[in-house]
Amino acid sequence: MSARDCEELLATLELTPVGDDEFTGSHPSRNPIRTFGGQMMAQAFVAASRTVRAGLPPSALSMHFIAGGDPQRDLEFTVVRLRDERRFANRRVDVVQDGVLLGSALVSHLAGGRGLEHDVVAPEVEPPDGLPKIGELLAGYEETVPHFASALRPIEWRYTNDPAWVMRDKGEKLSHNRVWMKSEGELPDDPVLHAAALVYSSDTTVLDSIITTHGLSWGFDRIFAVTMNHSVWFHRPIRFDEWVLYSTSSPVAADSRGLGTGHFFNADGRVLATVVQEGIVKHFPASG
């Protein structure tokens, strides 16, 4: 099933041109109540990248979410060309459904060339081989976190720590989450699709540390969460059909908003991308 799910993800990333710098994008067969933000961002990224000359690598994406999308209807992507130079390109992508603006993304591409290099030190974690698959971690919790249990799984996850629902069941807390990820199938030799798969995956687990810091979990506790904005900075070329480590934490939560930050590392410990997401996160303690 996971291999088919990966094929579904690739199908959603195969946008249909409908005019000058205009595209439509579909949804997969299994969806949450509203369009998954990672899907919308990945499709917006692909739309922008398809209007940029081949070989110009992405440098950053920043998306603000305005309204939720209906998974039963296609999304419309309109690309605005803001700048085109030999080494630079800037795009704005508006995502619309039935005349309603769902979100707007700014995407930049930059070929910077050689320069100074350094990396934050990658955390020491167990390698992915031998760690349990996500299906094993969901066994027995299908009714607690049904949306996770029934979700599309185009990406293989290998948690290096307990996920939120297992941690909550044990009465434990953790201020970070670290997950090995890769696509559940081989991806085409297209850098845009590898980067888009990372964008898609960057919207998973990034807010978890907000609640695991407080010993809470989806399913066990009454939590409302919605993403407000999400940014990704691309540092190096990406192969997302090879293992990468997504290490995330939450530096602050205040005023019913929480910030999740993280890095994607390759197997050699080099930083591939940096992620920052802000979400509205509300906890409603049980009365009595």
Q: Is 130 exposed, middle or buried (0-12, 13-18, 19+ CB in 10 A)?
A: exposed
As a whole number of angstroms, the distance between CA 27 and CA 72 comes to 7
Enclosing H/E stretch for 11: helix 2-13
Q: Is 133 exposed, middle or buried (0-12, 13-18, 19+ CB in 10 A)?
A: middle
Residue 287 has what pLDDT? 67
Helices marked H in 17-128 — which ranges?
37-49
Residue 64 has what pLDDT? 98
What is the torsional sign of CA 197, 203, 206, 211? negative
As a whole number of angstroms, the distance between CA 74 and CA 92 comes to 19
As a whole number of angstroms, the distance between CA 205 and CA 103 comes to 21
Terminal Cα-to-Cα distance of the chain (whole angstroms): 43
CB atoms within 10 A of CB 39: 27
pTM as predicted: 0.96
Residue 73 has what pLDDT? 97
As a whole number of angstroms, the distance between CA 120 and CA 272 comes to 11
As a whole number of angstroms, the distance between CA 76 and CA 94 comes to 8
What is the torsional sign of CA 158, 41, 154, 184? negative
Please, what is the Cα angle at 103 between 99 and 107, to 5 degrees? 125
**What is the domain class of 2-112+128-283 according to CATH?**
mainly beta
As a whole number of angstroms, the distance between CA 96 and CA 215 comes to 37
Q: Assign 3-class secondary structure to 131-178.
A: CCCHHHHHCCCCCCCHHHHCCCCCEEEEECCCCHHHHHHHCCCCCEEE
- Beta-bridge partners for 75: 25
Question: For the chain, which residues score pLDDT lower than 70?
Answer: 1, 287-288
Residue 258 has what pLDDT? 97
Q: Tokens in use for 120?
A: 């934050």
* AA identity, residue 254: A
